[in-house]
Amino acid sequence: MEAVELRNKIIQLLNTDNVGYLKDIFEFAEKKKQSSSENAVVAHTIKGKPLTKEMYVKQIKDADASITAGEYTTAEDLEKEVRNWQ
């Protein structure tokens, strides 16, 4: 079903004076929208794994903590390591 057709069917369902029904539909749509945005993919790892905002922020904080703790390889050290690969 195309988006336009689906939208028109939803509009037909909403064409009512039943306030309770409309409130229920509104609450459902708000919850669905909120859960969709919380689970939205905002980035991918270098291996292609999708990350939500929460996962992405955690990875950044973990990386920052590693750098602060001195757990990193300098460009110079990496160049030395690459020379040993050959």
10 and 47 belong to one structural domain: no
Q: What is the pLDDT along the chain (86 residues), one digit of tens a residue?
A: 799 999 999 999 999 999 999 999 999 988 887 766 777 888 999 999 999 889 999 999 999 999 999 999 999 999 999 999 97
Residue-range definition of the domain harbouring residue 15: 1-38
5 and 24 belong to one structural domain: yes
65 and 83 belong to one structural domain: yes
> Which two tokens mark 42?
């905002």
2 and 28 belong to one structural domain: yes
27 and 53 belong to one structural domain: no
52 and 86 belong to one structural domain: yes
Spatial CA neighbour of 54 closest among 67, 72, 62? 62
47 and 86 belong to one structural domain: yes
Q: What are phi and psi of 37, to 5 degrees?
A: -70, -30
Domain count, the chain: 2
58 and 81 belong to one structural domain: yes
Alpha carbon 65 to chain centroid, angstroms: 22
86 and 45 belong to one structural domain: yes
pLDDT of residue 36: 67
pLDDT of residue 41: 87
